[in-house]
Structure 1
Amino acid sequence: MGNISEREFMEKFGQLTPQNQRYLVSIQEALSFAQQTGTQKDSNELKKEELMGERQAEEVYMLKR
């Protein structure tokens, strides 16, 4: 999704004022937070898949012994 620029914000909400400057910052912070948690979730999912793969490998190893 990326970050919203001041130009994009002004196109949607008009001139930048001290009031809506705060909205812009809030939107940017929310987008940043969403990106971070999205990335965090992705890495957690990868870890789970890694662990499942390791367990399956151990099971196969034990069966072949």
Structure 2
Amino acid sequence: MSSQRTTWFKSSYSGQNGECIEVRRRTAGIDVRDSKDQPGPVVAVGAVAWRSFLAGVE
């Protein structure tokens, strides 16, 4: 896993209901976490898989 990390952010489409995920970009892809459990688990997703996911939900 790359040591180059950026800050966590939520989508501008996130509501105020607290049911959000946060994303952090890294060189080889992104990390995803539950905004309500910030010290909890992080899912690392490779760049190709993330692009495929985004293409499927757009």
TM-score (structure 1 length as normaliser)? 0.22
Say which structure is richer in strand: 2
Larger Rg: 1
Highest RCO, 1 vs 2 (Cα 8 Å, sep ≥ 6): 1
